[in-house]
Amino acid sequence: MSDDAYEPMDHIDWDLIDKDHTIEWLVHLCEVFNRGKVANQWTNWPEDFFWEPPLSTITEEHGQMWLHVAALICQSPGITVSSNDISVTGRFGSEFKIKMMSDLSDWSEIEHTQGVDCVPEELHHLLKEYGNYIPDPVYLCWECPRGTPMPVGLYSLLLAMLDETKVWEYLLDYIATECRGCHDTGFHHREDYLRQPGRAPGSLVGWDQFRPPYRSVEKD
């Protein structure tokens, strides 16, 4: 397909026009204007008149970053987009869902497979490294790092979900805890647990680690 023969306007799916404020529309337009190119050659950002708020506020610099996100989504069979929802199937079959905020400034939640059988067999070695049990109610609380452009953070998140390893390392590193004062129980990620004030032995405030009475994963 030569550049002279291809006209992007002829390939736009106008049935998506009611989604012209969503990431699905953004990805579609980026694909249409860069069709036939390899991922690292997506450089054509669609003209301004295609965009409605909030997409119309995207700067040229951030537009180039969004092109990398769109290329990754379009060229990864494990990623699908509908409106502002992104679904990712990792290389070991785990399913993740990302809900983008309405202005695409961040994602508001991340869903992942839960339950005792959720960790892929290929990563079962992590179970023994992190205590051989799975806390069902924990969530993947990954946010875009402060100072990092949102499309850059989203790109890294999608890569991590496609690979899966770092995701499960994070999810399995939660610690079951009990409040020293009221004895309520819950889960803290190890990083937060180690940063808490009053962690010193004998302190009357803070959280202590304990082994919860839920089902463990059987050792091989």
Inter-helix orientation angle 60-74/150-163, to 10°: 20
Tell me which DSSP letter residue 109 carries: E
Report domain extents, the chain: 1-75
CA–CA distances in Å: residue 104 to residues 99, 181, 195: 10, 40, 31
Residue pLDDT, tens place only, 8-66: 999 999 999 899 899 999 999 999 999 989 888 999 999 988 998 889 999 989 999 99
To the nearest 10°, report the CA torsion of 164, 170, 172, 178: -160
pLDDT band at 75 (very low <50, low <70, confident <90, very high): very high
- Residue 197 above 80 pLDDT? no
